[in-house]
Amino acid sequence: MATKLEITQQVRKFIIDNIFGGSDNADLKDDTSLIATRVMDSIVALKLVTHLETTFGIEFEAHDVSQENLDSINRISEFVLSKMK
């Protein structure tokens, strides 16, 4: 089972690769609101959900795809960890 650190690293890598074109963004902190800052839109969110399901062997329910669960790297990591239990 993956640790929170491993999940956080995977989420950060996905965001850097898919949103910032592989260039690390120093302003991207683990608690940065991805939705309020418009870093992540709905299409990227769905790609992220698919990536997390495949990578960590979890399944999102429709109600799981929400701002509450996907708004920051920390929130995403904590949510994924909770789904793995």
Domain locations in the chain? Answer: 4-21+33-84
Per-residue pLDDT reduced to its tens digit, 42-76: 999 999 999 999 999 999 999 999 999 999 999 99
Per-residue pLDDT reduced to its tens digit, 4-50: 999 999 999 999 999 888 888 778 999 999 999 998 999 999 999 99
Residues 4-21+33-84: name the CATH superfamily: ACP-like (1.10.1200.10)
The per-residue pLDDT for 77 is: 98
The per-residue pLDDT for 43 is: 92
Buried b (16+ CB within 10 A) or exposed e, 20-36: eeeeeeeebeeebebee
